[in-house]
Structure 1
C-alpha cells in the first residue's frame, strides 16, 4: 500500500504514504500511540479500510469497547473529510468527520459523526460519537 487511506496530505499537497501517516500507529500500536485525537480518528478510519479489528479494539476506551468488531463484506471506503478537531482540555477532545463508502449493492453512504476521545495514561482512546 502506498497512499494512506485517511487522505492526509503533505505540504506539497500529495497524499502521505501509509507507513509515514496512519501506518506507524496501526502497525506499531504498542510502541507508537497517536499524538492527538484527530490522528487517532484518522488511524481508526484507516484501520476500518484495512479491516484491522485488533487496532480498532485496542484504541477503544475500555469502558465502551465492544467484544468484537465486524466488517460488512463488499464495502468500499471512498474517503475521509475531517471537518473539526476540538480540544476540550488535556484529556478530552472531539473530532467531527464525514467518511464515505459504497456498500456491496453499490449504494453510496455518508457517515457523519462527532466523535469523543479521552486521553488515559498518555494514550488517546475513542469513547463514542453522535451521528449527524
Structure 2
C-alpha cells in the first residue's frame, strides 16, 4: 500500500489538539478539577506526533506564546485569545495535559467546560 509521501492522494492520518483556557481566579496556581475551562482553539496534527505527546505539547506552547508567524497562531491571536499559560489544558488525541510552571502533567480529573467568554478567552466557534 503506498504512503502519503509516495502517493499524494493517500491522506496522512491526523489527530486533534484542543486548547482550553482556565478562567478561574487562581488559574496561575495550576489547574484544579473545579476550574472553569473554555475551549478556545482546535487544530490537527499528524497522528504520528501524538504517539509522543510531549512534542505536541511543547509545540502548542511555542505556537500560542511566540509563534506569531504560524498560521494557527495568527488565527488564535485574531480571535483575541491570551497566551497559553499555567493552569491551561492542552488535549492531544483525547489525552489531556495541564500546563505547569515547568512542563506538563497528565490531567487527573475531568474538564469543567464553560462557554462564557471572558477577556482573552473566546470560545471556539470552528
Query: TM-score normalised to the size of structure 1?
Result: 0.26
Per the normalisation by structure 2, the TM-score is 0.27
Which is bigger in relative contact order (C-alpha 8 A, separation at least 6)? 2
Q: Which has the higher strand share?
A: 1
State the structure with more CA Rg: 2
